[in-house]
Chain A
């Protein structure tokens, strides 16, 4: 309780810091000079803030305010300042106190214009890239939407590449992202609820779902958890993810993140909820299950037979990436009986001159591999290739020739490294990368016994996880046979007759039956 009290106090202080208290609730004054003064006070020391007084017909004062770089100054000149200053008000257009109204209805050739009457709303609007217009003698201000900040073009997301399928990805601009979604689901049922999070950042966050499919209890839970967040700033969707997860200590992500609008659209159609955050291309999709980690976008754009095949390969790769090094260690140091004799001899022959125990050897190599991988992300591009060549030489050849590691060990670590990238979701694969080390230590200490203990613990943890009330292992545990069509196998599209039991509330029927093509 004590802690809570302290926190609230800090929050209060921050509020006072951010805006002068007397304008917090203040309505706009009819005196334009007062407004100007208040604004200048609020934006004190903000060099990117522009305040531009102009006179129409030589007498009526208008103030135009915006943040330089956020608003499109060129368009502002074209559609507002030029006609205002050179042509003035059209003849016979009423009284002074109606200028605001006239401006809004007749003169500002900008599609989105809103009227605000509070100073705080005005300031907020200006900070969100609108242009504020205050007219002398009026207590209403206009906010014209003239967003004009720089943004990246739409590119193919580099973390989720597909062979066949759409190549557009989300960008940092929230509006663009919602438009990408809207282009895919052109229905009024696609709802995009806005919410602002972040004391200072005031980040726009959008909850997207399809009304009529989504499970209301999940949606309500999302709203509640999002509203609960008290944070200074949101710079990436992970900031939010960590606040709204079910089990924050688990290494496994319980909320899926993606850069692909098609994945988000497909998830929405399944009844999931998406959270889009401004300033990041990564959208959150929830609830997530263990199996979503294996569903790549490409699965749905290839023939289903091949997609099933490749998915089975992926499950094998997963087990390889978790267990292969530990099984190698357990076999060679505890259970050499289980290795075929000729293989045992090959291993023994190459291990003859190796100074370290197998566990240390694997740990060394895994460490090198992860080091290379981490360095590879951070290396400047021109240096990158040089370092990776040296790394490959050091790990691959020199270490073996120097007799520090054995050749089979290099094969084990390399196979594991490749297998780890077979998991399509990057953040999901990271979890297994860590578990690999745990398994390795268990195997090094206890042999197969340790691996089994580790596997049991892992399974217990996984089946205990939940994502927004959805068991992480569903539909396998608890078993829902009808939903197994998209787990290990990927059924053909016409066989997806129902939506997943846990995801969608109403409207469980998805695709009418009997659409299997046949020569009739």
Chain B
């Protein structure tokens, strides 16, 4: 009994040997919510961070509502990220804490130089979350982007994240997708792009209005993770549809002298690879979708099955054209397989993949692509024929 007691006392006193603790109180941590990376000529990279100031976020008075910025923008230059981090810590009274960093921004110049040499930190740092939404800042630098405050969000860095969710992209798995793509041969990575935009477009307010984060499409990377081009938002949506990531989308087409909009809520896609005797690669892409016509500014009465069928066909035809255009653009202009067609071959015809994978980008550019769009209109609304009828 006595021996047991002594053992217990000794082993429990181990708990209090303070040297082994890695306890850090919250008020000794700098909550780092977004990281920006920019290239600086000759000197290396510039690491910038958005750090929240908790005391200005007092939940009782709304937080940051009084015009003051409730975050701290901090940046430093270094050879690589670790070096820059060390330089940043020299200016920071609290330990930088990356666990809540959900947004990663790459400046355009930085992306053009290639991410391959600089991204190891995101994988090796155990505190950094892989659930990160990464963006390329089109026509700008990451530090400018991070300096924006966003009126709706307490945490400005959450704004692009939430916009991405609304747009229906990969959200906070986009960086993970990026890393996966960077490490496989059958798919080339791409990332959404973001720009400093205005909240107000069009006439009236002019360009004086508040600046906002704006999603503008996606950035395409090549094999060396160098930025090689952009897709606009519609093309990006096509890409996500082909990759079966998109969950909802509104389609608008012009018919005769009017236009019709279809709101899709069930979207699917199927990529069927085919390799002929003479090693000619052919892909058949079947895109499906179901939804409701939510706006109809034409003379057609959609309660008539014949008109409905006409519109359905028109949607299929026009969107087939657009998707083909997107794919052709990627094939001819950039020649990198951002759709992951190579992975499809890898999974479905694995024995052929070995011969193809080493020169896949070239073969992707030469592949034949056939697109079929099969849309189904489920509902046309209850309010009867359109106003123009």
Tell me whether B54 and A442 are in contact (CB under 8 A).
no
Of B23, B26, B59, B102, which contacts A351 at CB under 8 A? B26
B96 to chain A, nearest CB (A): 12
Contact B26–A333 (Cβ < 8 Å): yes
From B16, B23, B154, give the contact of A447 (CB < 8 A): B23
**Interface on chain B toward A: helix, strand, loop, or mixed SS?**
loop
Which A residues lie within 8 Å of B102 (CB)?
341
Q: Is the CB of A336 within 8 A of B15?
A: no
Asked if A344 is at the interface of the complex by the 8 Å CB criterion, the answer is yes
How far in angstroms is the closest Cβ of chain B from A235?
A: 28
- Closest A-chain residue to B153, C-beta based? A342
Chain A residue with Cβ nearest B52 = A345
Main secondary structure of the interface of A (DSSP, over half): helix
Interface residues of B in 336-369 (CB under 8 A from A): none
Check A333–B24 contact: CB distance below 8 A.
yes
Q: Chain B, 149-182, contact with A by CB distance < 8 Å: what is the 0/1 string?
A: 0000011001000000000000000000000000
Shortest CB-to-CB span from B167 to chain A, Å, is 20
A346: contacting residue among B22, B59, B127, CB under 8 A:
B59
Question: Closest B-chain residue to A358, C-beta based?
Answer: B25
Closest partner residue, chain A, to B29 (CB atom)? A336
- Of the candidates B52, B59, B100, the one whose C-beta lies within 8 Å of that of A337 is B100
In-complex Cβ contact of B15 among A333, A335, A442 (8 A): A442
Shortest C-beta distance, A44 to chain B (Å), equals: 45
Q: Residues of A contacting B129 with CB < 8 Å?
A: 337
Q: Is A336 touching B26 in the complex (CB atoms < 8 A)?
A: yes
Q: At the interface, yes or no: A349 with Cβ under 8 Å from chain B?
A: yes
Q: List CB contacts (< 8 Å) of A332-383 with chain B.
A: 332-338, 341-342, 344-352, 354, 357-358
Q: Tell me if B154 and A345 are in contact (CB < 8 A).
A: yes
* B100 shortest CB reach to chain A, Å: 5
Q: Are B23 and A344 in contact (CB under 8 A)?
A: no
Q: Bound complex: CA of A509 vs CA of B25, how far in Å?
A: 59
B27 and A352 contacting across the interface, CB-CB below 8 Å: yes
A395 at the interface (CB under 8 A from B): no
A441 touches B25 (CB 8 A): no
Task: Known contacts A333-B23, A337-B129; decide if A441 and B55 are in contact (CB<8 Å).
Answer: no
Q: In the assembled complex, which residues on chain A have CB atoms less than 8 Å from the CB atom of B59?
A: 346, 349-350
- State whether A354 touches B27 (Cβ < 8 A): yes
Report the minimal beta-carbon distance from A349 to chain B, rounded to whole angstroms: 4
Please, which residues of chain B bring their CB within 8 A of the CB of A447? Answer: 22-23
- How close is B193's CB to chain A, nearest CB, in angstroms? 24
CB pair A441–B27 under 8 Å, yes or no, is: no
How far apart sit A358 and B24, CA to CA, in the bound complex (Å)?
10
Contacts of B23 in A (CB 8 A): 333-334, 357, 444, 447
Quick check: is B66 within 8 A (CB to CB) of the other chain?
no
The listed residue (A345, A354, A442, A445) touching B155 by CB distance below 8 A is: A345
Q: Is A446 an interface residue (CB 8 A)?
A: yes
Contact with A along B52-78 (1 / 0, CB 8 A): 101101110000000000000000000
B168 to chain A, nearest CB (A): 22
Report chain B residues within 8 Å CB of A351: 25-27, 54
Given contacts A336-B100, A337-B100, is CB(A357)–CB(B15) below 8 Å?
Answer: no
Residues of A within 8 A of B127 (CB): 337
Is B54 a contact partner of A348 (Cβ separation < 8 A)?
yes
- The number of chain A residues touching the other chain, given as a range, is 20 to 34
On whether the beta carbons of B57 and A332 are closer than 8 Å, the reply is: no
**A436-464 contact mask (Cβ, 8 Å, vs B): 1 or 0:** 00000110111100100000000000000
Instruction: State whether the Cβ of B33 lies closer than 8 Å to any Cβ in chain A.
Output: yes
CA distance A271 to B368 in the complex (A): 79
Contacts of B31 in A (CB 8 A): 336, 341, 344-345, 348
With CB as the reference atom, state the residue of chain B lying closest to A332.
Answer: B26
B residues in contact with A441, CB < 8 Å = 15
**Which of A335, A348, A444, A445 touches B27 (beta carbons < 8 Å)?**
A348
- In chain A, what residue has the closest Cβ to B24? A333
Closest to A446 in B: B15
Contact B16 A344 (CB under 8 A): no
Tell me if A345 and B99 are in contact (CB < 8 A).
no
Report if B97 contacts A (CB, 8 A). Answer: yes
B100 lies within 8 A of A341 (CB): yes
| Given A332-B26, A337-B99, A337-B129: A342 in contact with B154 (beta carbons within 8 A) | yes
Which residues of the partner chain B approach A348 to less than 8 Å between Cβ atoms?
26-27, 29, 31, 52, 54, 57
Q: Known contacts being A352-B54, A445-B16, is A333 close to B25, with CB within 8 Å?
A: yes
Residue of B nearest to A340 (CB): B100
Across-interface contacts of B97 in A (CB, < 8 A): 336
CB distance B22 to A344 under 8 Å? no
Residues of B within 8 A of A342 (CB): 154-155
- Judging by beta carbons under 8 Å apart, are B57 and A349 in contact? yes
In Å, the complex CA distance between A332 and B24 comes to 8
For residue B16, give the distance in angstroms from its CB to the closest CB of chain A.
Answer: 7
Considering only residues 25-53 of chain A, those with a C-beta below 8 Å from chain B are none
Q: How far is the CA of A447 from the CA of B20 in the complex (A)?
A: 12
Instruction: Say how far B327's CB is from chain A's closest CB, in angstroms.
Output: 38
Q: Taking A341-B33, A345-B154, A349-B58 as contacts, is the C-beta distance between A445 and B26 under 8 angstroms?
A: no
Q: Which residues of A contact B52 (CB under 8 A)?
A: 345, 348
Contacts of A341 in B (CB 8 A): 31, 33, 100, 102, 155, 158
Docked Cα-Cα span, A307 to B168, in Å, equals 44
Among B55, B100, B102, max chain A CB count under 10 A is at: B100
Q: Is the CB of A347 within 8 A of B25?
A: no
Q: CA separation between A148 and B129, bound complex, in Å?
A: 77
Q: In the complex, A350 Cα to B57 Cα: how many Å? A: 9
- Chain B 98-122: CB-based contact to A (< 8 A → 1; otherwise 0): 0110100000000000000000000
In the complex, A288 Cα to B72 Cα: how many Å?
59
Q: How far is A481 from B23 in the complex, measured between Cα atoms in Å?
A: 44
Which of A332, A338, A345, A350: most chain B CB closer than 10 A?
A345
Which residues from chain A contact B21 at a C-beta distance below 8 Å?
445
Indicate with 1 or 0, residue by residue over B1-27, a CB within 8 angstroms of chain A CB atoms: 000000000000001100001111111
Complex Cα distance, B204 from A288, in Å, reads 78
Task: With both chains docked as a complex, state the minimum distance between the C-beta of B160 and any C-beta of chain A, in angstroms.
Answer: 14
Most buried by B among A347, A352, A450: A352
Q: How far is the CB of B15 from chain A (nearest CB, A)?
A: 4
Assembled-state Cα–Cα distance A445/B14 (Å): 10
Q: How far is the CA of A342 from the CA of B161 in the complex (A)?
A: 14
B43 to chain A, nearest CB (A): 32
Q: Are B57 and A357 in contact (CB under 8 A)?
A: no
Whether A357 pairs with B100 at a CB distance below 8 angstroms is no
Pair B99/A357 contact, Cβ less than 8 Å = no
Instruction: For residue A341, give the distance in angstroms from its CB to the closest CB of chain B.
Output: 5
B25 touches A332 (CB 8 A): yes
Q: Say how far B25's CB is from chain A's closest CB, in angstroms.
A: 6
Q: How far is the CA of A333 from the CA of B29 in the complex (A)?
A: 10
Q: Which residues of A contact B16 (CB under 8 A)?
A: 445
Say yes or no: A349-B29 contact (C-beta < 8 A), given A334-B22, A342-B154.
no
CB-nearest residue of chain B to A352 = B55
CB distance from A290 to the nearest CB of B (A): 24
Q: Which of B23, B57, B59, B99 has the most CB of A within 10 A?
A: B23
Query: When chains A and B are docked, how far (Å) is the Cα of A444 from the Cα of B16?
Result: 10
Which residue of B has the minimal Cβ distance to A329?
B23
CA distance A342 to B62 in the complex (A): 12
B61 to chain A, nearest CB (A): 11
B24: chain A residues within 8 A (beta carbon): 333
Instruction: Choose from B15, B26, B55, B58 the contact partner of A344 (Cβ within 8 Å).
Output: B26
Residue numbers in A under 8 Å from B100 (CB-CB): 336-337, 341, 344
Least CB distance, B99 to chain A, in whole angstroms: 3
Instruction: Give the complex CA separation of A354 and B25 in angstroms.
Output: 10
- Going nearest first, the 6 A-B pairs with the smallest beta carbon separation are A337-B99, A348-B54, A349-B54, A445-B15, A333-B23, A348-B26
With A342-B154, A349-B58 given, can you name 4 additional A-B contacts, CB distance below 8 Å? A345-B154, A349-B59, A350-B59, A357-B25
Listed by A's residue number, 9 A-B pairs whose Cβ atoms lie within 8 Å are A336-B97, A341-B31, A341-B102, A341-B158, A345-B31, A349-B57, A349-B59, A352-B54, A357-B23
